[in-house]
Chain A
Amino acid sequence: MEESAEVGTVTRPPQRADVMTGLEATSTGLVADDVASDRAAADPTRVSAGEIDRVLPAMRGLRARARATNLARADQLQSALDRAADGELDEAGRAQAVSVAHQLIGSAGTFGFSDASRRGAELKDFFSAREVDEDDVQTARIRLMALRTDLEGEGEQDELG
């Protein structure tokens, strides 16, 4: 695996490699229910207003639950960070923190908390490092505070609301 920086990137197999992102993605085809009329009337490369209306209410509920879960994950990272600061974070605890940060990155970003997701990635790097010094711990504390602030706020003011 190698580094890449794009969010939401779609990658095809190498023989037809290209990149597309977000709503530029194409989703065409025959649809079995009333979504079909929405889609047929619209640009097939776009998600229709009807589809968004159907998805958003449920999406908002999911987002609220994901926020609570990710705040609990922030608590877990805080606990691990405190142990790391005291030199008491063992290998199992470190691996657990990496796993928690990994889950937070995907969940927070998917539900519109991109800053929290970014901070989670930085904290994953912190917990992945085998040796950290006092400055690293202090930086991680600041990043965790920023992560929590983003989760406690509104995140992106997009269609997920």
Chain B
Amino acid sequence: MSAGDPMTIRRVLVVDDDDHIREVATLALEVVGGWQVITAESGEDAARLVLSERPDAVLMDVMMPGIDGPTVVERLRGDPLTAGIPVILLTAKNLRVDPRDYNRLQLAGTIAKPFDPMALAGQVAELLGWGDGR
């Protein structure tokens, strides 16, 4: 599977420690986006799943127990096998990622929490440039 091949169904890894947020994001991305979704409830699980599943993109919460989102992204960027996987951070609505962190973490973008479930797939597609197929 390749993120650049429009004939394949893209896979997105959703990482959040809140069960309901993972479920609503999965629902939104699968039904509205038409993508496959895999989920992780911690940074540790996310790092493991990215290596084993090689998703086409990761939607990652920032604040989680244990390893937080930015730390996981740093690890991904340090591994040639995962360095190129685009990551969107889910940030608290009153926080904005410092532009220096964008460069350091090579983020595809951020989406503020709370998010609109019905708009989520469109926001992800826009940030990742997935408007040309999936």
Contacts and interface: CB of A to CB of B under 8 A. Distances in A.
Interface stretch (A10-18, A83-91, A132-140, A146-154): A10-18
12 contacts: A4-B93, A4-B95, A6-B93, A13-B103, A23-B122, A25-B126, A28-B131, A66-B24, A69-B19, A110-B24, A114-B114, A121-B93
A55 B26 CA distance: 11
B122 A26 contact: yes
B134 interface: yes
Choose among B90, B123, B134 the residue with the greatest number of A CB atoms under 10 Å from its CB.
B123
Contacts of B32: 27, 35, 47, 51, 55
B125 to A, nearest CB: 4
A136 to B, nearest CB: 19
Interface of B: 6, 9, 17-21, 23-24, 27-28, 31-34, 63, 65, 90-99, 101-103, 107-119, 121-127, 130-134
A106 B54 CA distance: 27
Interface in A98-140: 99, 102-103, 105-111, 114, 117, 121
A14 B97 CA distance: 10
A114 to B, nearest CB: 7
A34 B133 CA distance: 15
Given A105-B113, A111-B24, 20 more contacts: A1-B95, A4-B94, A8-B114, A10-B112, A10-B123, A11-B109, A12-B109, A23-B116, A23-B122, A25-B119, A27-B121, A29-B130, A32-B9, A47-B119, A59-B27, A62-B24, A103-B18, A110-B21, A110-B114, A110-B116
Contacts of A23: 116, 118-119, 122
Contact of A47 (B17, B111, B118): B118
Nearest to B98: A1
Contacts of B119: 8, 21-23, 25, 47
Contacts of B125: 25-29
Contacts of B115: 8, 110
B83 to A, nearest CB: 16
Nearest to B124: A27
Q: 8 closest pairs, A vs B, by CB?
A: A109-B114, A27-B122, A25-B122, A106-B113, A28-B131, A66-B20, A14-B99, A4-B96
A7 interface: yes
